[in-house]
């Protein structure tokens, strides 16, 4: 007897392919769907015609129906437009989390129900479990591949209907499983995070896209306001960036602030990049919101480790927290809150709080 119909988002990669295979084996009525998100050229290893062909080949091998669904309009309106406008405003967007919120766990779920889907499934490295107070989202078992950070905005209703079949596995186990099953994508390289703008080319992409927000050039200044150089646009910078500043200096310099009104980009020492907390807006919760005074951990970039923090304010508009361990807090990025491995929810960073003297944090440099 079938365990219900599940519509699997199939990118043509090994993770979603193994996810589909596991669900077939577990007795689900599986339908494979590739999402067409971007109409332009891509070098990310995702969303290309070759990827759709790989997804179709896997579906044929698994003997499941396969469809390609067109989400280009939704993707451009909600993800690409936000990416372009945020960078032009001197902020640092997070398109993957935006896509999960607006497309993969919203529009895709609506289309899946049209196919009679009771569930949707993806190849994300995250885990879903039934807790005492309802369904919960946990970090993936493979910490090096954990994607729970990008999923905070999917919403509780979507989480209740979503499966993550490989979230309990490590990447090498997923590839071994694909090889054991003879799937043609077993050795396929991983895709990059941004499917529409290859790594290192985002500035050129932002410049080429139509937008009502102008490109704002200006000065690079030190903490005294002295001009060190000129730059071609605030969209070329992110808080904590060290490389690509175009400044010859005796000491390392980091972007510490971006003024989208004047076009000024402020640089300073490593200590100037540290913060005492942050303010986040547009909250999305996967559990009951934490109370003021709750100790949590917060992750402010996908590759940063979660850092200890305390909630100091919370409302329907957002939350504030304090932490002595934050570095490179970039407006526009997501601040995702955890209780151990469980994702509580998160919001979009509006601003950082002034640094506490002597604070340290063990994270990597933030840079484009």
Residue 99 is a catalytic residue? yes
How many alpha carbons fall within 13 Å on the CB side of residue 307?
Answer: 27
Q: How far is CA 304 from CA 129, 299, 315, 337, in A?
A: 24, 6, 26, 13
Structure tokens at 7: 């519509």
Q: Which of 122, 117, 158 is nearest to 5 (CA)?
A: 117
What are all long-range contacts of 214-219, with beta carbons under 8 Å and residues at least 24 apart? 214/88, 215/88, 216/88, 216/90, 216/260, 216/263, 217/263, 218/259, 218/262, 218/263, 218/264, 218/265, 219/263, 219/264, 219/265
Structure tokens at 171: 């990447």
Task: Give the C-alpha separation, 352 to 253, whole Å.
Answer: 19
Report residue 186: phi and psi, to 5°. Answer: -55, -35
3-state secondary structure 43-93: CCCCCCHHHHHHHHHHHHHHCCCEEEEECHHHHHHHHHHHHHHHHHCCCCC
E strand spans, the chain: 5-9, 29-36, 66-70, 119-121, 126-131, 134-139, 162-163, 218-221, 227-231, 254-258, 265-268, 274-285, 295-299, 307-315, 318-327, 334-339, 342-353
Residue 195 is a catalytic residue? yes
Given 46, 47, 96, 195, the catalytic residue: 195
Given 46, 47, 96, 99, the catalytic residue: 99
Instruction: Indicate which residues carry an active-site annotation.
Output: 99, 195
């Amino acid at each position: 007897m079938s365990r219900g119909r599940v519509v699997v988002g199939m990118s043509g990669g090994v993770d979603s392919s193994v996810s589909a295979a596991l669900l077939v084996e577990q007795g689900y009525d599986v339908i494979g769907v590739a999402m067409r998100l971007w109409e332009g050229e891509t070098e990310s290893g995702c969303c290309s015609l070759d990827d759709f062909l790989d997804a179709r080949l896997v579906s044929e091998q698994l003997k499941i129906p396969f469809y390609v669904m067109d989400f280009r309009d939704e993707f451009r309106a909600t993800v690409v437009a936000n990416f372009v406008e945020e960078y032009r405003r001197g902020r640092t967007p997070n398109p993957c989390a935006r896509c999960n919120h607006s497309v993969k766990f919203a529009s895709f779920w609506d289309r899946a129900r049209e196919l009679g889907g009771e569930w949707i499934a993806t190849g994300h490295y995250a885990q879903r479990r039934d807790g005492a107070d309802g369904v919960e989202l946990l970090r993936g078992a493979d910490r090096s591949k954990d994607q729970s950070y990008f999923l905070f905005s999917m919403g509780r209703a979507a989480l209740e209907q979503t499966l993550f079949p490989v979230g309990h596995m490590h990447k090498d186990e997923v590839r071994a499983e694909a090889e054991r099953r003879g799937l043609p994508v077993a050795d396929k390289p991983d895709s990059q995070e941004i499917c529409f703008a290859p790594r290192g080319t985002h500035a050129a992409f932002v410049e080429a896209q139509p937008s009502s927000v102008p490109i704002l050039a200006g000065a690079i200044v030190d903490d005294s306001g002295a001009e060190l150089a000129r730059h071609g646009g605030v969209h070329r910078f992110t808080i904590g960036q060290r490389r690509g500043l175009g400044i010859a200096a005796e000491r390392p310099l980091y972007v510490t602030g971006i003024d989208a009104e004047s076009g000024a980009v402020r640089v300073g020492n490593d200590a100037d990049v540290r913060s005492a907390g942050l303010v986040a807006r547009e909250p999305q919760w996967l559990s009951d919101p934490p109370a003021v005074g709750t100790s949590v951990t917060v992750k402010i970039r996908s590759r940063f480790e979660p850092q200890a923090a305390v909630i100091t304010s919370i409302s329907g508009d957002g939350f504030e927290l304090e932490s002595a361990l934050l570095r490179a807090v970039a407006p526009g990025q997501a601040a995702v809150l955890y209780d151990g491995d469980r994702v509580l929810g998160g919001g979009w960073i509006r601003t950082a709080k002034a640094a506490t003297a002597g604070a340290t944090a063990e994270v990597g440099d933030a840079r484009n």
